[in-house]
C-alpha cells in the first residue's frame, strides 16, 4: 500500500490536504511528532511507518520579515531540516517530495519555466533555494515550485500591478496525487493574472494597491509541464 509521510502537517497546506485524504494514503505528522532538525526523530518515524514517499511541508514561511530578522531560524528550519531529510531519504531509498516556492525566480520577465535561471529576491526565496540545492543532489526526488495561498485571501489589500500564478490550497490538494510519481522540478500554480484579480475570488472587500518594490512585478511561471502531466 502506498504510504506518504507528511512533515509539517499543521501548516496551511497540510491541514487542507487532511480534508482530501479519503484514500488514507497520508500519514500526517506535526513538528512535535516529527522534528526535521532531529535525525533520530526522522529515522524513528521512517522505521515505524515505512513510507514510500516523504512529503516535506515543514519549514518557515510567514511572516516574511522573520527571514531578515532571524536568519538562524530561517536557515535551520528551511535549509538544515531539509538537508537532514535528503540524507535520510537517500539512506532509506525513500522518494522525497519538497515544496519550494515561485519566489526563487527573479520576477522580472515572468513566464519562468523550470529550467530558467533562478535568483531569489528575498531571504525567504534564498532559504528555499538553499534547501532545493540539497534536494537536487538526490535523484529520487520531486521539487514542487508552488505559488499557493489560503482561501479566502489572507490580506486586506492585493497588488494590482503584480502578475502571479496563485492557486488556492484546496485546488492543488485535489490534484496532488497526480504528480507524485514524477521526478525533477514542476512549477505549480493557477492562471496568470494580477494578485488583486486573483484575491477578489471570494473576497469582495479587498483593496487594490500598487507594488512599489515590495514584490517584483512579473513573478508568474510557465505551467506547460504541469498541464501536460495533468492531461495524461
Name the residue among 146, 182, 186, 187 with its Cα closest to residue 167.
146
- Tell me what pLDDT residue 204 has: 74
23: burial class by Cβ within 10 Å (0-12, 13-18, 19+)? exposed
Question: With bands split at pLDDT 50, 70 and 90, how would you rate the model's confidence at 1?
Answer: confident
CATH of the domain at 219: 3.40.50.720
SS3 58: coil
Which grid coordinates are listed for 224?
Answer: 506547460
Cis omega (within 30 of 0) on the bond before 148? no
Q: How far is CA 10 from the centre of its chain?
A: 14
Half-sphere exposure of 205 (CA within 13 A, CB side): 4
Summarize the confidence of residues 118-147 as an average pLDDT.
Answer: 98
Please give the tally of structural domains in the chain: 1
Residue 202 has pLDDT above 90, yes or no: no
Mean pLDDT across the stretch 52-80?
A: 97
Segments forming the whole domain that contains residue 131: 4-231
Predicted local confidence at residue 22, as pLDDT: 76
Tell me: pLDDT of 79 over 90: yes
- What's residue 97's pLDDT? 98
Q: How do the residues of the chain divide into helix, strand and coil, expressed in percent and rounded to 5?
A: 35, 20, 45
Query: What mean pLDDT value characterizes the chain?
Result: 96
Is the pLDDT reported for residue 44 higher than 80? Answer: yes
Amino acid at each position: 500500500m502506498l504510504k506518504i509521510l507528511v512533515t509539517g502537517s499543521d501548516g496551511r497546506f497540510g491541514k487542507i490536504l487532511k480534508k482530501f485524504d479519503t484514500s488514507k494514503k497520508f500519514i500526517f505528522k506535526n513538528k512535535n511528532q516529527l522534528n526535521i532538525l532531529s535525525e533520530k526523530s526522522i529515522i524513528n518515524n521512517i522505521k515505524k511507518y515505512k513510507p514510500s514517499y516523504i512529503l516535506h511541508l515543514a519549514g518557515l514561511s510567514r511572516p516574511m520579515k522573520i527571514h531578515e530578522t532571524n536568519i538562524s531560524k530561517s536557515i535551520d528550519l528551511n535549509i538544515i531540516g531539509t538537508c537532514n531529510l535528503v540524507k535520510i531519504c537517500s539512506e532509506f531509498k525513500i522518494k522525497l517530495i519538497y515544496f519550494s516556492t515561485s519566489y526563487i525566480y527573479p520576477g522580472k520577465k515572468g513566464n519562468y519555466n523550470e529550467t530558467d535561471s533562478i535568483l531569489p529576491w528575498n531571504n525567504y526565496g534564498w532559504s528555499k533555494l538553499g534547501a532545493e540545492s540539497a534536494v537536487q543532489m538526490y535523484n529520487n526526488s520531486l521539487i514542487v515550485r508552488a505559488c499557493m495561498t489560503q482561501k479566502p485571501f489572507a490580506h486586506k489589500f492585493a497588488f494590482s500591478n503584480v502578475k502571479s500564478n496563485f492557486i488556492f490550497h484546496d485546488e492543488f490538494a485535489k490534484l496532488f496525487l497526480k504528480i507524485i510519481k514524477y521526478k525533477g522540478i514542476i512549477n505549480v500554480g493557477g492562471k496568470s493574472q494580477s494578485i488583486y484579480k486573483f484575491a477578489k475570488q471570494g473576497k469582495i472587500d479587498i483593496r487594490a494597491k500598487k507594488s512599489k518594490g515590495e514584490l517584483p512585478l512579473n513573478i508568474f511561471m510557465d505551467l506547460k509541464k504541469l498541464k501536460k502531466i495533468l492531461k495524461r
